[in-house]
Amino acid sequence: MKIALAQINCHIGNFEGNVAQMQEAIRDAKSKNADIICFPELAVCGYPPRDFLEFDNFIKKSKEAVEELAKAAVGIAVVVGAPRRNPVIEGKDLYNAAFFLFDGAVQHIYDKTLLPTYDIFDEYRYFEPGSNFDVVHYKGYKIALTICEDIWNIGNENPLYTICPMDEMMVYQPDFMLNISASPFAYDHAEQRKKIVATNAERYNMPVFYCNHVGAQTELIFDGGSVVMSPGGKLYEELPYFEKGIWYYDLEEVKAGRAYRAAIVPKIERIHEALIVGIRDYFRKSGLKTAILGLSGGIDSAVVAVLVQRALGKENVRVLLMPSQFSTDHSIDDARQLSENLNIQYDIIEIEPIYQRYEKTLEPYFSGLPFNIAEENIQARARGMLLMAFSNKFGNILLNTSNKSEMAVGYGTLYGDLAGGLSVIADLYKTEVYDLAKYINKDGEVIPTNIITKPPSAELRHNQKDSDSLPDYDILDEILYLYINEQLGPKEIISKGFDGQLVNRILKMVNRNEFKRYQTAPVLRVSNKAFGMGRRMPIVGKYLG
C-alpha cells in the first residue's frame, strides 16, 4: 500500500483553483503508482469558510467539486474534505466531511465528530457532529478515517468532549489511520501537534498519516508540517513547514519504523517564515500586488518593511518617510538607509506644514490649552492621510506596523498609525520584534544597527520616549503575556512578583482600549492568543479578573 500526503495551499471559495490543484496532484500520484492520496480538511472549499457555508450555492459548488474529483479517482483512492448536507431534518444543516473516492464515485463518507469552538474555531456554529464510526474497506485494509480535532480526545480524557472517535472505531480493528486536518500555525503548536499524533499511534498501535494545510487565509496561517507516525508513537517523518508538495510512503515501511530526527527550528525563525507566508497569501489571494507603509526609522516599521520586501519583492514595495519638527535627523537617516539596503522605492514628505495648517485652523478652539495628545495625534493622522492618498492613487495596500504591546495598551492613533489593510506584526510583543530584527540581521546588517539599539520613541513631541508613559518592555511584555496569552488575572500576575499598582494600571489600559482593536486591520496570527477572531472581549466590560 502506497500512500501520498498532499500539503496544498487552498483558497477559500476558489473551487476551480482548488480542484485543479488537486487534479494535478492526483495525476502525479497515479504516475508514481500511489494507492491513496490524501488532501486536507475542507480542501475543496478552503478553511475556514465561515458564513460562506450559509449560502446554498456554496454547498452546491462543494458537492460538484467532490463529484469532479471522483472522476479522477480511477486507479487510485482520493481522500478529501468538504462540507455536505445533513440528509435528515434533525440537527444542523451541514457536516464537515471526509470523502473517500474510488472507482469514479464516493465510496465512504466520514463526518467530523469533535467540533472545536475555542480560540479561532467556531465549527459548531455550522456543523452537526458525526455519529458514524465505520471504517473504510480498501484493498484488503481497514482504514480509520478521521478529521483534525477527532484525534485530540485521546481515551476520552479531553473535558471538552464526551466521545472518542478512535475508541469507537477500534472495535473494527483498523490497520492504520488517515487524519486530514486544518491546524493553524502558532509558534509553539507544532510540538503539541506531533505529540498528539504520536500518542494516537502509541495508544492504538498503528501507523498514523496526518495531512495538514499550508498557506494563509487572511489572519490564519497554516504551516503544513504533516507527519507520519509508526506504531508505538515513533516519528517516521515530519514534512516541511510552509512548503507545498506531495510525499509518498510505503505502508509496510512505516509499520517497520525507522530512526528519524525532526529538525529543531527556533521560534523566531518559524515566526519569520509564517509572516512572510501570511503577507504573500493575503496579497495573492486578494488579487493585490503592491504595498505601502510609513517608515519612521523605528524598529516596528523597519521589521515590516523587510518582511514585505521578502514576501512581495522589492519592486512591489513603496515607503513614505514623513518627518515632523519632532523627528530626529538620525531617524530620517536610518529610514533612508534601510530603504536603500532593501532597494525599495521611498519618498520623503515633510508633514510640518500640514501640521501647522491644522494648528492654525484649530487655534481659535485650542487657544490657551496645553500641548497634549490631541496635537500628537494630528501628526499621526496626517501621516495616515498621506499614506492612504498614495494607496488610493497608486493602488498600494497600506500595511499596519503596530506591535502587540502597543495594540494591547492603546499606544496608537486611530485613523493614523493604526490604519491599514493588514496588521503584520500585531501578534508580536515589542521584545519579540527586537528578536525578529536581530534574526533578520543574522547574516549581515539589513536593518541599520542604530534602529535596533536606540530607545524606542513615537517622536510626537520633543525628546519623547516610550518609557515616558510605559514601563520597560521587558516588564510590560511579561505582564501582557500572562494576561492575554495565559489569561491570568491581576492577583495571579501580582503573585509572580510584579508590582500591584503597575499590574492593575496595565490591565486597565488593555481593557480600556478594546474599542481601538475592534477598528484595526486583521492581525496575522503567530501565537496561541492573537487579537482578533481568537480573542473576543466586550468593549464596555469592566471585569479585570
CA within 13 Å, CB half, 274? 32
C-alpha 235/C-alpha 261 separation (Å) is 8
Query: Which cell numbers hold the place of 15?
Result: 473551487
- The crossing angle, in degrees rounded to 10, of helices 352-366 and 373-394 is 130
Nearest residue to 47 (alpha-carbon basis) of 37, 60, 36, 62: 62
Report DSSP letters for 185-240, one per residue: --TTHHHHHHHHHHHHHHHHTS-EEEE--EEEETTEEEEB--EEEETTTEEEEEPP
Q: In what order do the strands lie in the sheet with 245-250?
A: 105-111, 94-102, 77-85, 36-38, 2-7, 245-250
Radius of gyration of the chain (CA): 26
C-alpha 470/C-alpha 337 separation (Å) is 29
Catalytic status, residue 148: yes
Q: How far is CA 480 from CA 10, 493, 505, in A?
A: 34, 10, 11
C-alpha 134/C-alpha 145 separation (Å) is 9
Catalytic residue among 10, 38, 45, 112: 112
Per residue in 433-450, is it b (16+ CB within 10 Å) or e — as a string? bbbbbebbbeeeebbbee
C-alpha 394/C-alpha 450 separation (Å) is 32
Catalytic residue among 148, 164, 432, 529: 148
Q: Are strands 136-138 and 141-147 parallel, antiparallel or unpaired?
A: antiparallel
Nearest residue to 291 (alpha-carbon basis) of 299, 278, 332, 9: 278
Catalytic residue among 10, 38, 41, 273: 41
Contacts 24+ apart (CB under 8 A), 368-374: 371/461
The 10 Å Cβ neighbour count of residue 170 is 16
Q: How far is CA 510 from CA 75, 196, 476, in A?
A: 58, 34, 11
C-alpha 20/C-alpha 202 separation (Å) is 37
Query: Which cell numbers hold the place of 397?
Result: 495596500
C-alpha 128/C-alpha 131 separation (Å) is 9
> Could you tell me which residues come within 8 angstroms of residue 61 by beta carbon, excluding any fewer than 6 positions away?
15, 45
Catalytic status, residue 112: yes
Q: What is residue 544's three-state secondary structure?
A: coil
Catalytic status, residue 10: no
Task: Count the helix, strand and coil residues of the chain and give each as a percent rounded to the nearest 5.
Answer: 40, 20, 40
Contact of 96 with 112, CB cutoff 8 Å: yes
What HEC string does 104-151 produce?
Answer: CEEEEEEECCCCCCCCCCCHHHCECCCCCCCCEEECCEEEEEEEHHHH
Nearest residue to 319 (alpha-carbon basis) of 433, 379, 377, 401: 401
Catalytic residues: 41, 112, 148
